[in-house]
Amino acid sequence: MNPANYLYLAALLFTIGAAGVLIRRNAIVVFMCVELMLNACNLAFVTFSRLHGNLDGQVIAFFTMVVAAAEVVVGLAIIVSIYRTRHSASVDDANLMKL
C-alpha cells in the first residue's frame, strides 16, 4: 500500500469537516467539525513526516494540537457566554453583523 492513501484519507476527512461547518447550525457541532478538519491536517502532517523521514512534521502536528486546545477553550467559552445571553447555540441566531 502506498502511504499516500493516508493523504487521501486526510483530504476526505477535511472535506467532510468543512461540509459539516457549512451545514450544521449548532455551534458546538460546528466546533467539532473544525476539530475534525484540524485532525485531518495533523494526519497529513504525520504522513508527510513519514514520507520525508524527519520529525519536523510531527512537531508541527504537536503545535497544532496545542493551538487547537487553546482554540477550543476560548471557543467553547464564547459559545457558553453567547448561550447565556441569547439562550441559543445556533450560529444563525448570531446574525446582527449585517446591514
Partner 1 sequence: MTGSMSLAAAAYQTSTGEAVQFWVLGTVAVIGALGTVLMKKSVHSALSLAGTMIVLAVFYLAQGAYFLGVVQIVVYTGAIMMLFLFVVMLVGITAADSLKETLKGQRWMAALCGLGFGILLIAGIANASLHSFAGTGQANAADGGNVQGLAHLVFTKYVWAFEITGALLITAAIGAMVLTHRERTEERLTQREQAEARVREGKQVTPLPAPGTYARHNAVDVPALLPDGSISELSVSSTLRERGQIRDVSRDAMRRLAELDQRSDEWLERAPEQPELEHDGERAPASAEEGAK
Partner 2 sequence: METLIGLLVAAPLLGAGVLLTGGRRFDRTGHLLGTLFALLSFVFGMVLFVNMLGKNADDRALHSHLFTWVPVEGFQAQVGFQLDQLSMTFVLLITGVGTLIHIYSIGYMEHDERRRRFFGYLNLFLAAMLLLVLADNYLLLYAGWEGVGLASYLLIGFWQHKPSAATAAKKAFLVNRVGDMGLSIGIMLMFTTFGSFAFSNVLPRAAQAAGTQHATITGIGFMLLLAACGKSAQVPLQSWLGDAMEGPTPVSALIHAATMVTAGVYLIVRSGAIFNAAPDAQTAVVTVGAVTLLFGAIVGCAKDDIKKALAGSTMSQIGYMIMAAGLGPIGYVFAIMHLVTHGFFKAGLFLGAGSVMHGMNDEVDMRRYGGLRKFMPITFVTFGLGYLAIIGFPGLSGFFSKDKIIEAAYAKGGTEGWILGSAALLGAAITAFYMTRVMLMTFFGEKRWVPDAEGHEPHPHESPKSMTVPMIILAFGSVFAGGLFSINSSFVKWLEPVTGHSEGNSPVSTGTVTAATMVCLVIGVGIAWLMYGRRSVPAVAPRGSLVTRAARRDLLQDDFNHVVLVRGGEHLTRSLVYLDHSLVDGVVNGSAASVGGLSGRLRRLQNGYVRSYAVSMLGGTAVVVAATLLMRAV
Cα separation, 68 vs 46, in Å, equals 16
Q: Does 94 bind partner 2 (CB under 8 A)?
A: yes
Q: 57 and 3 in contact (C-beta within 8 Å)?
A: no
- Which entry of partner 2, partner 1, none binds 97, CB below 5 to 8 A by partner kind? partner 2
Among partner 1, partner 2, none, the one that 73 touches (CB under a kind-dependent 5 to 8 A) is partner 1
Residue that is written with C-alpha cell 447565556 in the block = 84
Give the shortest CB-22-to-partner 1 separation in angstroms: 4
**Mask of contacts with partner 1, 56-95, x by CB under 8 A?**
x-xx-xxx-xxxxxxxxxx-xxxxxx-xx---xxxxxx--
User: Which of 28/91 has CB closer to partner 2?
Assistant: 91
E strands, 13-95, are none
Work out the number of other CB atoms within 10 angstroms of the CB of residue 28. 14
